[in-house]
Amino acid sequence: KKATATAATTAAAAAAAATAAAAATAATAATTAAAAAAATTAAATTAAAAATTAAL
């Protein structure tokens, strides 16, 4: 009985750790995507500024 409870607790802890790892991975992916979007926006802004300067 005690061994079964220990195994269940271990399995639950492993599942919780896997879920936390998956959440961390998702958060990292979201952060990476946000950084890429920011870089794209910065590049677009720079290109627009260059075009404006060229037009002047």
Q: How far apart are CA 26 and CA 20, in angstroms?
A: 10
Interior angle at CA 48, CA 45 and CA 51, nearest 5 = 150
The tokens describing 46, both together, are 């720079």
CA-CA distance, 47 to 23, in Å (whole number)?
A: 36
Q: Is the pTM of this model over 0.85?
A: no
Token code pair at residue 23: 């959440």
Can you read off the two tokens belonging to residue 17? 């750790």
Take residue 2 and report the two structure tokens written for it.
């005690």
For 2-52, how does the pLDDT look when each residue is reduced to its tens digit (9 = 90+)? Answer: 888 899 999 999 999 999 999 999 999 999 999 999 999 999 999 999 999
